[in-house]
Structure 1
Amino acid sequence: MFSIKPPKDQDIGKLPAAVIPTIDVTTDRKTLCSTLETINSILRHGESHQKLECVEKIMLAVYRDDTKQSKNYDKALVKTKVFETMLELMKFKDYNDLLFKDDETRDLNIGIVSCIMNVTNFLKGVGVAIAEAGGISLLTDICRFKPFLKLLQNEHIYSFMLSVVAILHNIGRLTSVPQYFSESKTAEALVPFFDSKDERLKIYAFIGAAQTCNDSEIHMLVDTKGVISSILKYVQKATESCSCCYGGAELKELMEGIEKLASADPNKKKILEAGALPIFQTILDLDKPEEQALTARVLWTMTFDDDVAKEVKSSKALLDKLEILSKSSDKAVRSNVKGLLYNIEQRCKKKVEEQKPSKIKTGKQQDKHLFISYSWKEKEIVLKLKDLLQEKGLPIWIDTEQMRGSTLQAMAEAVENAALVLICMSESYKHSPNCRLESEYTYRCGKEYIPLMVQKYYKPDGWLGALLGTKLFIDFSGKYQFEPKWNELIKELQQHKMLGNEETNQETAIVATPVESTSSTKLKISTIDDVNQWLISNKLEKSFGEISQEIKCTDIDKRSQNQAQFGNFYSTNCIQGLRYSEETITFWVTVKKLFKGKGVNFFRGFKAQGLEKDKECISPKDCRINFAVPSNPTLASESTKYTVGLENPGILETSLNAFAEKN
């Protein structure tokens, strides 16, 4: 083994091919990094043919069965920033130059994406480094380049784009980089490939979109073009292959794609109707625990559709196999299969009344525990909360060892005996069948629950959004400082009689006072994001958009003083001949409920310039709601008027904040 001293930049172009170093991944990392630094210099300053040879050597070195060597190679590639250099080589003002500038440039760029595709299939660190270096944005933009989309029959464009789509899919499988795909709207950029006549490209794009989309984009995955049938054909072919691979895709990654597709409720039945059950049974018959566990999990997710659950239950051969696997020596297989069987039984009961929890003798309210429902991915923050809550003497029921499936009865009894449930929301929580089982059982038992947000910028929708309803969550995602949010949780636990008032002292109390809400969780208005969440929970966000950071509030308005003494007074000042939109009425009613019983006087006004009285509706952006709050409860004549003006939505935040501080 030897260390290679990188040549001077001006001499690189003169290097003969034989001098370009061979990558030996069996060497120590220092020597390996030295070799890669030389290669990186050639990539930056060498001739096109030299660069291409370097790219090929990097790709060939990745094929290693030794896990330790692969990890060493992964870290060395990240440290020397070889792939950042490759991305720089692909940056052209006109993407046509990627393939049509000249033959050498074309071959180099096809070689680069082929190399990145193969390396990201094996090495996670490189995938993360590419995402952090702007690779997702670049590759997504290339997917949007219409001249390439129109010429996919060209062999060079096809080869190039197939690799680009595969790279996005490979990196999309990583759990640490979803924000880059959301920012670039990668899933949306892959949708045009769903219409491709090439089955392989179509499948790569569909599974890639499944891996890279967030919950707000999941609707794009509802299959209307029969892509699921094509994917299942690949799955079937992969089960027949000794390598469990077909068309360049492994059985495991195909099933991971199917699992993500199944998270879109309309797809559950589509997967069933495409003939999935016999194919899934074939996988369960394989002696491959990892694939068996994944397939059981896919079926578990699908059986949240009642029709799918009934179909699975009616398949005796499949049920017999599942019963055998429920006793598997593999923990993941055993737990996923037990969860699947439990869910089938719950779903196939004819009436909701038959699903009532069994009667269990419980202690007094103060003896009951706090049940924490969470996804294992967010265990760090959840276990921190668990430890802090236990320090306050709260009895906690939490699965800290992922004992899924084998403890389903224990889970059911724990929910039934819980005084309160903490639901820790995240994207992984929504997609976890076990978490869905816990939360649905919580709701079915009529248990009070507090929603906690544990993933930054996540917006719940689907079944989890429905469960959230009008409740405001407490944000432990890391977006805000921990202490204020911890104090909010303590306040909630006090309101639910889980803790005494002495647990919160004056120094750590929340600044904003809770405002009455129609939900069992008190509404708190302390930040602009709280107002945004309030709008979302009341389905008003489409009307108003995101609350801006612009803050403005009106001064004392003497005209409102007299009305302030009438308590909960609600008046309407209408412009004759104008109709109100449904959204406007919803807004007024919702705001009134928000301040019910707080001594607020409402005044409604309009800005009607430019509206035709006999045709137009008043929309939220054209209306204002004025309300007056006594600045001193003992002097009703003194009041401050606040204006909720939709032309400047920031006023809403200021108004609600000011109101909360006074009450």
Structure 2
Amino acid sequence: MASSSDSEEASTESVSLAHVVEEMTEVIATLRDTTGDVSAATDNVAILETKVLHPFDTYTTKSQRLYLSDHLANIGGAEFLTNNIAWLRGMLEGGFSEDVWPYLYASYVCCHNFTGSSPKFSEESGKAGIIPVLLHDLQVFKEKWTRIKRCKLIVTSAIATLYNMSKVAGNRAFFTDAKAIESLIPYLQVDSVLLKTYATLTLTYVIDEEYMRFVTDPSVVAFIIDVFTSAVDDEKKSYTVDNVTYTADELAMGIERLAVNDTPDDNNKLTLVAEGVLPPLFKLMTEGDEEEQLHAIRAVSQLAFHPDNKEKIRPAIPQLQEFKSNGNPDIAAAASGALWQLQDAESRQQKDVASDDGDTADRKNGSNVRHVMLSYQWDNQKTVKKIKTSLEAKGYKVWMDIDRMGGSTLEAMAKAVEGAAVVLVCMSRKYKESANCRRV
């Protein structure tokens, strides 16, 4: 959710980085014109590193990197890099010859850096067609990366970029079309915690029903929690290991996804809590900015789905109750969801009995006609409203959350399910990923 401070930051960056983005615009136009010209590769890599990669390394705040990455997306940078990589990889030696290798690798590094800083750049990269190119790299170098350094560099950059892009909902269809799961699954078994972690986190965003449940490698869980703890403890809420920087909010998102895409016996939820994920999550809820707090609360809410975890999460209830009245509606809704999940069945039943007293008169008057409940994800509301209108025109009583009820959403949903003759599920990918919809 954008705030006035976000707008002020964007305005500040547009002034302070004006000369940088102006040069970036010029060099991308120049580089685009020389795609396909091998003789220009040496000069081009120097330009790319100086005018595109160097500013990224120089301006390190979230807002600065977002501004640079968004600008690169706006001027066609994602399309240029995709075409450049496809051209170089299509050469006789696959771009590994000494005259073009530096240019190829710099292009991969650009993709990794900028997709990690800007959802817009990630989405533009998806539209440009880079996902199949990167997945092909994973397939081709599946056996070679352990023996050839350059193959390892390409594989690491490719899988890191795919992870960045998987977090953007608009890219999920591209992953499906490219059959990404088949290329990623083998990397769950490699002898590299870094690559296993990237493969695992990417799969949590793009996994489909066929592979929906999988047990996360214990070494990956330990690695994620260790890096997450270090990131939360860091003043900038980030931590670098093996030249890769992880932020606390992205790891909290990954922890949430691991808890969502779990085995039937909730192995991931139990392992994450047993290995110590709760203390850094609680700390991030206290010390993080709004975005970090939101992802920490959502992760806690998903972990609370297992009854054995609830008692360990209960110490955070006072903090969650404070968040319930937070001015940020997303944080308030996430806190309400976590609190609802922490309630036991008996408490809910007592609450329902108390609230049902006011409905007694309606029942006596025979007005307790059971309804059709429409369960949907918020982005599809316009379409679902049409379904509601059509059903009502045929005489059906319909329940639909239209006004985003905030703190009362989960209680209202529970009653709506219990009082429904039929629950009509309006399925979409975002529906399957929604914490509230998973509770229906």
Asked whether the two chains share a fold, i.e. TM above 0.5, the reply is yes
Contact 1:25/1:73, CA 8 A, preserved across alignment: no
**Residue in structure 2 matched with residue 129 of structure 1 by the alignment:** 124
Contact 1:301/1:433, CA 8 A, preserved across alignment: yes
CA, structure 1 residues 370+192, in 2 after alignment: closer, same or farther (shift >3 Å)?
closer
**Residue in structure 2 matched with residue 456 of structure 1 by the alignment:** none
**Residue in structure 1 matched with residue 95 of structure 2 by the alignment:** 98
Name the structure with the higher helix share.
2
Contact 2:79/2:125, CA 8 A, preserved across alignment: no
Name the CA distance, whole Å, in 1 between partners of 2:27 and 2:402.
Answer: 44
1:52 corresponds to 2:52: no
**Residue in structure 1 matched with residue 259 of structure 2 by the alignment:** 262
Q: Tell me, what secondary structure is at the counterpart of 1:371?
A: strand
**Residue in structure 2 matched with residue 405 of structure 1 by the alignment:** 407
The structure 2 residue matched to 1:371, chosen from 370, 373, 376, is 373
One-letter amino acid of the counterpart of residue 76, structure 1: I
CA, structure 1 residues 402+291, in 2 after alignment: closer, same or farther (shift >3 Å)?
farther
CA, structure 1 residues 377+274, in 2 after alignment: closer, same or farther (shift >3 Å)?
farther
CA, structure 1 residues 156+370, in 2 after alignment: closer, same or farther (shift >3 Å)?
same
CA deviation map 1:606-656 (0-9, x unaligned):
xxxxxxxxxxxxxxxxxxxxxxxxxxxxxxxxxxxxxxxxxxxxxxxxxxx
Deviation at 1:38, TM superposition (A): 2.5
Deviation at 1:357, TM superposition (A): 5.1
**Residue in structure 1 matched with residue 81 of structure 2 by the alignment:** 83
Name the CA distance, whole Å, in 2 between partners of 1:24 and 1:85.
Answer: 26
CA, structure 1 residues 123+310, in 2 after alignment: closer, same or farther (shift >3 Å)?
closer
Unaligned runs of 5+ in 2: 1-16
1:115 corresponds to 2:110: yes
Aligned length in residues: 402
Name the CA distance, whole Å, in 1 between partners of 2:350 and 2:154.
Answer: 54
Matches within 5 A, 1:258-407: 258-263=255-260, 264-265=262-263, 266-313=267-314, 317-346=315-344, 349=346, 358=353, 359=356, 360-361=359-360, 362=362, 364=366, 369-389=371-391, 396-407=398-409
Name the CA distance, whole Å, in 2 between partners of 1:200 and 1:109.
Answer: 22
CA, structure 1 residues 387+50, in 2 after alignment: closer, same or farther (shift >3 Å)?
farther
CA, structure 1 residues 67+237, in 2 after alignment: closer, same or farther (shift >3 Å)?
closer
The structure 1 residue matched to 2:428, chosen from 398, 413, 426, is 426
CA deviation map 1:187-225 (0-9, x unaligned):
342333334444333322321222332232233x41144
The structure 1 residue matched to 2:220, chosen from 218, 227, 231, is 227
CA, structure 1 residues 54+217, in 2 after alignment: closer, same or farther (shift >3 Å)?
farther
One-letter amino acid of the counterpart of residue 151, structure 2: I
Unaligned runs of 5+ in 1: 1-21, 440-663
Deviation at 1:86, TM superposition (A): 1.5
Deviation at 1:23, TM superposition (A): 9.6
One-letter amino acid of the counterpart of residue 260, structure 1: R
Q: Tell me, what secondary structure is at the counterpart of 1:90?
A: helix
Contact 1:334/1:406, CA 8 A, preserved across alignment: no
Name the CA distance, whole Å, in 2 between partners of 1:151 and 1:345.
Answer: 49
Matches within 5 A, 1:442-521: none
One-letter amino acid of the counterpart of residue 139, structure 2: R
CA deviation map 1:397-417 (0-9, x unaligned):
322343343433333344444
Contact 1:43/1:51, CA 8 A, preserved across alignment: no
CA, structure 1 residues 233+276, in 2 after alignment: closer, same or farther (shift >3 Å)?
same
CA, structure 1 residues 44+379, in 2 after alignment: closer, same or farther (shift >3 Å)?
farther
Q: Tell me, what secondary structure is at the counterpart of 2:405?
A: coil
Deviation at 1:324, TM superposition (A): 3.2
Q: Tell me, what secondary structure is at the counterpart of 1:407?
A: helix
One-letter amino acid of the counterpart of residue 307, structure 2: D
Name the CA distance, whole Å, in 1 between partners of 2:382 and 2:170.
Answer: 14
CA deviation map 1:421-449 (0-9, x unaligned):
32222333233221122x2xxxxxxxxxx
Deviation at 1:301, TM superposition (A): 1.7
Q: Tell me, what secondary structure is at the counterpart of 1:130?
A: helix
Contact 1:143/1:161, CA 8 A, preserved across alignment: yes
**Residue in structure 2 matched with residue 12 of structure 1 by the alignment:** none
**Residue in structure 2 matched with residue 545 of structure 1 by the alignment:** none
CA deviation map 1:64-91 (0-9, x unaligned):
628677544422226x931242232233
Name the structure with the higher strand share.
1
**Residue in structure 2 matched with residue 249 of structure 1 by the alignment:** 246
Name the CA distance, whole Å, in 1 between partners of 2:109 and 2:387.
Answer: 45
1:209 corresponds to 2:203: yes
Matches within 5 A, 1:466-615: none
**Residue in structure 1 matched with residue 10 of structure 2 by the alignment:** none
CA, structure 1 residues 386+93, in 2 after alignment: closer, same or farther (shift >3 Å)?
farther
What TM-score results when the alignment is normalised by the length of structure 2?
A: 0.79
Q: Tell me, what secondary structure is at the counterpart of 1:246?
A: strand
Deviation at 1:141, TM superposition (A): 1.5
Deviation at 1:346, TM superposition (A): 3.4
CA, structure 1 residues 223+376, in 2 after alignment: closer, same or farther (shift >3 Å)?
same
Q: Tell me, what secondary structure is at the counterpart of 2:170?
A: coil
Contact 1:235/1:254, CA 8 A, preserved across alignment: yes
CA, structure 1 residues 355+406, in 2 after alignment: closer, same or farther (shift >3 Å)?
closer
CA, structure 1 residues 194+66, in 2 after alignment: closer, same or farther (shift >3 Å)?
closer
Contact 2:239/2:247, CA 8 A, preserved across alignment: yes
Q: Tell me, what secondary structure is at the counterpart of 2:36?
A: helix
Q: Tell me, what secondary structure is at the counterpart of 1:103?
A: coil
Identical aligned pairs, as a percentage?
23
Using CA pairs under 8 Å that are at least 6 residues apart, name the structure with larger relative contact order, 1 or 2: 2
Contact 1:328/1:334, CA 8 A, preserved across alignment: yes
**Residue in structure 1 matched with residue 13 of structure 2 by the alignment:** none
CA, structure 1 residues 98+225, in 2 after alignment: closer, same or farther (shift >3 Å)?
farther
Q: Tell me, what secondary structure is at the counterpart of 1:304?
A: coil
